[in-house]
Amino acid sequence: MCRNVCASVLLALMLFFGVPSLASAQNIIGTQSNYSGSKALMINPALISTSFLYFDAGLSFGVYSYNDLMYLKSRDFSKFLFSGYNSWSSYDWTMYNQYGVPHEFLYVRDTMPNSLTESIDLNILSMFINIDSRQSLALSLNNRVYSSVTNLPWEFGRIAIEGLDSLYFDRYSSEDIRIATMEWSELALGYSRTVYDRFLNKFDVGISLKGIIAYGGAVLNVNNLDYEILSKDTSNVYAIDADIHYAAPLNYSSQFSSNDVFMSDKLKNGLGFGVDFGFVYTKRKSVGMNRRSVSSCDMDPVLYRWRLGVSVTDIGFVKFKGNARSHHYFNDEPTLFIHSALDDVNSIDDLSKTLSAIYFHGDSLASVVGDEFTMTLPSSLNMQLDFNINDKFYVGAMWIQPFALSENSVRKAAQIVVSPRFENEYFDFILPVTLYDYSKMFLGAEMRLWFFSIGTQNILSFCGIGDFYGMDLYFSLKFNILKGRCLGSGRDACWNSDFR
């Protein structure tokens, strides 16, 4: 059954794309505490100078994957995860579907475009330090994989679940489908400075500059697609206007099953640059003391009533020149698509030539338009608001609004997060409530115990409650030193080297 489902999904994509797509979001777990340190660099570089830490160094890993097209019952995912089940439960769709076919997934049945978002963030090394009482410096080395699908036609879920039979003689038309994926490593240098600090008011600004090496990227932009499935063997494509760009460490002429399809000497296929910037306004609890003669690690953290931050992240681009291909497919006349034409496709080049011949009247090279392209980073506007209820209890809120700098862009998902939390030097506990993509509500949990942090934005899916649209998980290991506890300060420097 799984083979049939995968084949039908692939066939639907190949009508206009021909290459399987990957399903970006941003995991904000680990960024909200006053003890986040260098982790806060990813959401607002100005936050590092407001941290309660003097220094930290560590690593972290986060994976984030959600969609609004298909879902499982969380109870079945929980059984699979914790009970050793080796297969998903099947569902009898008789009550939903006249065909009564058992399926492995349920899906949201509507006629609205859908989205898929996925990201993997590996923070190989992160460090930050307060240079003095007004300046902080951070360094971060990350490997990131972001994928996104927006405006995915709703019938694709139906094809994947029910097969092609249920769509015979139905005509479908879609516009502005955007599918993108990119993997890159980045070295980020962040700087934050207090530019105003008088009485109860404190204002910090920050910037992060990023050099990027990209390993691969792919983009599909479908401006127009109008088609009808006539049978399991044929479809009629009335109009298509699509662009596809890809660069990867692959031998495009090698067969999919061959041993030389992966090219280890083609790992670096793109170079780029990025920048994050932001500010933070802090309303102090009390007037700060003027202690300019005191060393930076001797400075006490700034206690506040509330704090507001605004930032713009991932403004940048990657230029792919290594092993890159660009194709354009256009046809405004009815074209019969015979599915068996794909039977002899054994390589990526075979696939592009076959599709070109179908849509350009037998010309297998007409779709080729270039050997380089540019992708932009998953940009977003972010706001952070934090209220201090008392010395240990806080309520934070965060808004992430993505935007695309170009059509060739991976995208994040919009998020609104409200997070009550308890925190002290050795322990954090946070309960984030997330409105994902302005459509779904998740309840999460995050905990830090000394050097170790772990968290998720949707813990209910692990507990078998509700519907399973995806999952995320984050953990980190960090060593840090608190502000106000340093060597030579007259305070003990051993026990204050707090682990996180």
pLDDT of 498 reads: 36
Question: pLDDT tens digit string along 216-254?
Answer: 999 999 999 999 988 888 899 999 999 999 999 999 999
pLDDT at 256 over 90: no
- Top pLDDT among 479 and 93 is at 479
- What integer best gives the mean pLDDT of the chain? 83
For residues 305 and 303, give the distance between their C-alpha atoms in angstroms, rounded to a whole number.
7
Environment class of 306 (CB within 10 Å of its CB; exposed 0-12, middle 13-18, buried 19+): middle
Helix (H, G, I), strand (E, B) or coil at 79: helix
pLDDT of 25 reads: 45
pLDDT of 37 reads: 86
Environment class of 5 (CB within 10 Å of its CB; exposed 0-12, middle 13-18, buried 19+): middle
Mean pLDDT, rounded, for 351-373: 93
pLDDT of 221 reads: 96
pLDDT of 209 reads: 98
Pairing type for strands 427-430 and 368-370 reads unpaired
For residues 287 and 296, give the distance between their C-alpha atoms in angstroms, rounded to a whole number.
18
For residues 447 and 450, give the distance between their C-alpha atoms in angstroms, rounded to a whole number.
10
pLDDT of 259 reads: 85
pLDDT band at 484 (very low <50, low <70, confident <90, very high): confident
Which region holds residue 60: left if phi is over 0, alpha if psi is between -120 and 50, else beta? beta
Helix (H, G, I), strand (E, B) or coil at 481: strand
Question: pLDDT tens digit string along 164-219?
Answer: 766 766 788 999 999 999 999 999 999 999 999 999 999 999 999 999 999 999 99
Question: pLDDT tens digit string along 22-80?
Answer: 334 455 666 778 998 888 988 999 999 899 999 999 999 988 888 777 777 767 777 66
Assigned token pair, 41: 């660099």
pLDDT band at 87 (very low <50, low <70, confident <90, very high): low
Answer whether 316's CB lies under 8 Å from 212's CB: yes
For residues 242 and 398, give the distance between their C-alpha atoms in angstroms, rounded to a whole number.
36
List, in order, residues 6 or more apart from 448 with CB less than 8 Å away. 33, 35, 423, 427, 428, 429, 500
Assigned token pair, 64: 């984030």
pLDDT at 487 over 90: no
Candidate from 274-288, 352-366, 449-463, 477-491 with smallest mean pLDDT: 477-491
pLDDT of 100 reads: 42
Question: Cβ–Cβ contacts within 10 Å for residue 188, how many?
Answer: 22
Question: pLDDT tens digit string along 91-147?
Answer: 544 444 444 445 555 666 566 777 888 888 888 999 999 998 899 999 999 999 999
- Top pLDDT among 142 and 298 is at 142
For residues 223 and 227, give the distance between their C-alpha atoms in angstroms, rounded to a whole number.
14
